Amino acid sequence: MASWLPAVAVATLAIVAFAVLTPLAVLAYLYVFDRRQRQHSVLRNYPLLGKLRYFLEAIGPELRQYFFDADHEGKPFDRVDFQTIVRAGKYATTLIGYGSKRDFEAPGYYLRNALFPLEIEELRADNSEPVSTWKYESREFLFSRRERFVETKLDPWLLLPEDAVVVGPRCREPWRLRGQVGCSGMSFGALGANAIRAISLGLGQVGGSWMNTGEGGLSPYHLAGGVDIVAQIGPGLFGYRNRDGSFSWDELRKKAEIPAVRAFELKTAQGAKIRGGHLPGPKVTPEIAAIRLLEPWKSVDSPNRFREFHDVPSMCDFIERIREATGKPVGVKVVVGGPDALDELARYMAESGTGPDFITVDGGEGGSGATYAEMADSMGLPVKTAIVFADDSLRRYGVRERVTLVASGKLFSPDRIAVALALGADLVQIARGMMISVGCIGTQRCHLNTCPVGVATTDPRLQRALVVEEKRWRVTNYVATLRHGLFTLAAAAGLPSPRHFRREHVMYQDARGLTRPVSEIHPYPEPLAAGRTKRRRAGAGA
């Protein structure tokens, strides 16, 4: 017998013993430890089964999302919502087979079709310069799916120049928009550099759109694609502050000199968090600190409201000063809490001739990187109700033609956008739809900086998952497909352009199956007489 065989046998036995005994030792330790700990009741009585329970609980969201939730059960976005956005971005289509999965017995809005719809060539759309992009072609088999990434061209579905939405016509530099769909406010810091770059490049490629910076300030990643920029200013004045935290007019003028910056927006509230924010020190990297004009690694709180104004007159004065200093349109982002929420602002605009050039109405269903559950669930009205109330207030006081209304809040598909336009919006902003286009899978870890797909994180290791040169085209395809769907719906309604949607083009079916035009549920208000307006203001002051 070879002399080395006993040594091999001993080594083999040692390895087997280690492989068997180590797990048993670990389990024994955990058993004894968990029986003695005082924090978890289940583990104290059932240590091993309790471990299994907590493991299954930890992966429960993923199990529900992928295996157990029905197509319309997931929140805040269900499986069908995700598929709608991903299909548009990845394959540049919204085609489905067999039929809709919508519950037609549930209350909801429906677009009113015309007896004689318009042909494509009758639409007032500009498709003279197709957009170069890349999309996937897919072939599915029983156990596999093959996809090719192919170069293609898409029609941009721009508004004709004479139909463009003009924001701030009274400004020295008014802003003309040839598309009605843009990107809502998402800050660098809440989203990583790769995500913001991909969105900017995609929007710049499709043209006719815009990108809101969010309250975190203007970053080079927002400017990467040459897309129009709405520079948002929050109560924390990030990117627009002096060392003592006061508003910096010099920084404002610097931003206004950038050609891509087309407008400024004062964020008074957000649908998911009508409050100030907290930015922890570990997230204030030197790069983020330089953009937000903060001290690196130092925590900072954003107040609930601006210290620069405290009521409607002082806010309008501040808006006038910004407009005069920059020459560009100035708007406000609001959350509507009731039917009279904007009456005071509209009344003052009518009497003073001042006020914002645009108002962004953010619905309570809007998203956020981090907020409190009780606020996200209950504070602020949904966008479809809110946009009607905002539109009504401006019409009552005769200032609707001076103001562009922008709606945001889960308006991620052509039909939802068409309904919002019909209810009173001129433009629509999308945030989470853009995030899903660049890879968001809805893990809801935005507030932890641990996004596994590199979207809502500043961690360089995690951000590498997001390949900008692939995801940028999904944004281009998504927006082009949205605009194509909008024009298709307009044609079916007998309208030459989405600019012509009004309340009479939307029906609402309630829980009993009764259906009425929205124009009957929410009739357009009659303008108030000038004298009556002044008397109401005097009475309110008394």
- Helices (H), ranges, 141-242: 193-206
Q: What mean pLDDT do residues 347-372 have?
A: 87
User: For 209-252, what is each residue's pLDDT tens digit?
Assistant: 999 999 999 999 999 999 999 999 999 999 999 988 899 999 99
- Strand-pair partners of 405: 359
The pLDDT of residue 384 is 95
Report DSSP state, residue 106: S
Distances (CA, A) of 33 to 46, 79, 464, 515: 12, 41, 39, 63
Share of the chain above pLDDT 70, in %: 89
For residue 533, pLDDT over 70 is answered with no
For residue 200, pLDDT over 70 is answered with yes
User: For 82-125, what is each residue's pLDDT tens digit?
Assistant: 899 999 999 999 988 888 988 999 999 999 999 999 999 999 99
Of 197 and 144, the one with more pLDDT? 197
E strand intervals along 411-529: 427-430, 506-509, 515-517
CA proximity to 264, closest of 392, 147, 386, 168: 168
d(CA 419, CA 423): 6
CATH for the stretch 161-530: 3.20.20.70
CA proximity to 230, closest of 89, 411, 404: 404
Q: What mean pLDDT do residues 192-203 have?
A: 97
Q: Specify the range with the lowest mean pLDDT, choosing from 26-35, 469-478, 506-515.
A: 26-35
Q: Which residue has the tokens 């809110």?
A: 386
d(CA 112, CA 415): 11
The pLDDT of residue 21 is 61
For residue 4, pLDDT over 70 is answered with no
For residue 538, pLDDT over 90 is answered with no
For residue 531, pLDDT over 50 is answered with no
Q: What mean pLDDT do residues 432-442 have?
A: 93
CA proximity to 390, closest of 361, 427, 432: 361
Segment holding 212, helix H or strand E: strand 210-212
d(CA 142, CA 204): 38
- Residue 59 burial by CB count (10 A; 0-12/13-18/19+): exposed, middle or buried? exposed
For residue 520, pLDDT over 90 is answered with yes
The three-point CA angle 296-299-303 to 5° equals: 125
d(CA 191, CA 429): 17
The pLDDT of residue 540 is 37
For residue 374, pLDDT over 80 is answered with no
Q: Which long-range contacts (CB under 8 A, 24 or more apart) does 91-100 make?
A: 91/135, 91/136, 91/137, 91/138, 91/477, 92/133, 92/135, 92/152, 92/154, 92/477, 92/480, 92/481, 93/481, 94/413, 94/414, 94/481, 94/485
Cα atoms in the Cβ-side hemisphere of radius 13 Å centred on 111: 25
CA proximity to 112, closest of 383, 426, 509: 509
The pLDDT of residue 20 is 66
3 state DSSP class of 145: strand
The pLDDT of residue 539 is 35
Assign 542 a pLDDT band (cuts: 50, 70, 90): very low
For residue 392, pLDDT over 80 is answered with yes
Segment holding 360, helix H or strand E: strand 358-362
User: For 275-332, what is each residue's pLDDT tens digit?
Assistant: 666 677 777 889 999 999 998 888 877 788 899 999 999 999 999 999 999 999 999 9
For residue 76, pLDDT over 90 is answered with no
Q: What mean pLDDT do residues 9-37 have?
A: 71
Distances (CA, A) of 53 to 42, 60, 178: 9, 10, 54
Q: Specify the range with the lowest mean pLDDT, choosing from 39-43, 165-169, 348-352.
A: 39-43
The pLDDT of residue 273 is 64
Report DSSP state, residue 67: I
d(CA 369, CA 77): 15
The three-point CA angle 477-181-411 to 5° equals: 95
Q: What mean pLDDT do residues 445-468 have?
A: 90
For residue 29, pLDDT over 50 is answered with yes
User: For 129-138, what is each residue's pLDDT tens digit?
Assistant: 999 999 999 8
The pLDDT of residue 122 is 96
Query: Among the ranges 27-41, 49-63, 460-474, which has the highest mean pLDDT value?
Result: 460-474
312-326 helix and 249-256 helix, angle to the nearest 10 degrees = 50
Whether 153 contacts 525, CB under 8 Å: no
d(CA 201, CA 473): 8
